[in-house]
Amino acid sequence: MSRPAPSLYRLYVRATGLLLPLAFRTVAGKLRAAGVSEPRIRERLGEASLPRPEGPLIWFHAASVGESLSVLTLISRLGERLPAHRFLITSGTATSAVLVGKRLPPRTQHQFAALDAPGPVARFLDHWRPQAAVFVESELWPLSLVETRKRGARLALLNARLSDKSVRGWSRWPETARFVLDQFDVMIAQNRDGAENLRAMGADPARLTLGVNLKSTSDPLPVDEAALTAFRAGLDGRPLWIASSTHEGEEETVLAAHRRLLERHPDLCLALIPRHPERGDAVVRLVAQAGLSCARRSTGEALAGQQVYLADTLGETGTWYAACPIVFLGGSLREIGGHNPFEPAQAGAAVLTGPGYFNFSETFAPLLAQGGAVEVRDADSLAAAVARWLTRPEELQAAREAARGLVASRQDALERIVDTLLAALGLEARA
């Protein structure tokens, strides 16, 4: 099925071997800075820190947090259909390891991904011996793909999303692009643009199919009931809105909107959830510069009476969503691409977004059209949208119901993806 390896691929293999010491030094430094242990850091060299379980194993590889979390529900569904199979998730970041580790489905383990170089890939495959491998979104690591297929595993590209920039880069080397894509038995694009980009790169149309954004099919985020109860007690009945997954350059707009809202709703609280909690100190300074009082989750400060609650921790977003039906999603006031609106929608919230949600355009389009989300552009429009939902509960309820309805419609799509993977990867239940 696969074409002979082109010369550029052979050059890539030699180059990755030579550059491995430098690459490992770089990634190891980042993991050490995040507090990852040395045995786990060496997983990046393909040295497993866990034993391989008995029985057939399916390997999922995702780059970072969003991609890793998006496959957890899918793995759970596959586990129900394949009760004798085990699952392995690999990713590259310390944050993804922490969050995935808290939510691993049954019979599932996590490891850091082996660097795409001959030694690490060989050690990884010698140990784990996957029956099938699923690469998520844009994870096209040529050596890992080719060597996994050589070992007899079938491969899938899931939730495929390649940017126009990536496609232009690959198009400079069409023979190599076709060779890499030929490793996959099936490619499931998350939208029509993704499918067209894969075709432009040389994907075999017979192995290409259209799915949905996998993040829209995930189970709801976990809720810590004790933390939720304590948070509500601290609010003491005050109204609340949330700004979630905000990035550098966005908090200023959110805080300006909150100042406007406080003029009409003086007891209103803002729960501010930065996308990267390590920015907590910088966000605290921004809150102070805006002249607002703040309680900080990571230091255990009391919420009572504070105008802003800075939720600068990992893995608790679901808890805050459960406390409030109005959520602004960041990554959208700047050209970042937005974040997954189905997470707040699953919690029963209506969603606000800036215009820069292009990574989730196919997800936001029906949500906006049906009224489950509203687009804003600046502090004034954000404050106006929040104020409207605060003062018109019937409109807020209609928006929440529209968002929930769209979430429910995506569960059938998940089952179709499961069926597609089972068939394309030759996976069958074993006694």
In terms of Cβ atoms closer than 10 Å to its own Cβ (0-12, 13-18, 19+), residue 27 is middle
Instruction: Choose the catalytic residue: 43, 47, 67, 278.
Output: 67
d(CA 28, CA 215): 29
**388-410 burial, b for 16+ CB within 10 Å, e for fewer?**
ebbeeeeebeebbebbbebbeeb
Tell me if 267 sits within 8 A of 352, measured CB to CB.
no
Burial 306-345 (b: 16+ CB within 10 A, else e): bbbbbbbbebbbbbbbbbbbbbbbbbbbbebebbbbbbbb
Residue 171, H or E segment: helix 164-171
The answer to whether 342 touches 317, Cβ cutoff 8 Å, is: no
One-letter amino acid for residue 418 of the chain: V
| Cα gap 81→74, rounded to integer Å | 11
Which two three-digit tokens encode residue 82?
């394949």
Could you identify the residue written with the tokens 């495929």? Answer: 160
Cβ 223 vs Cβ 319: under 8 Å = yes
Coil/strand/helix, residue 186: strand
Give the list of residues 6+ apart from residue 227 with CB closer than 8 angstroms, or none.
316, 319
3-state class (DSSP) for residue 383: helix
DSSP code, position 291: T
At 134 the three-state DSSP class reads strand
Could you give phi then psi for residue 334, rounded to 5 degrees? Answer: -120, 170
Q: Helix (H, G, I), strand (E, B), or coil: what is residue 242?
A: strand
d(CA 75, CA 371): 31
Please state at what angle helix 142-150 crosses helix 7-33, rounded to 10 degrees: 110
Tokens encoding 72: 């957890």
- Residue 67 falls in the annotated catalytic set: yes
Query: Residue 132 has which token pair?
Result: 């099938």
- Could you list the active site residues? 67
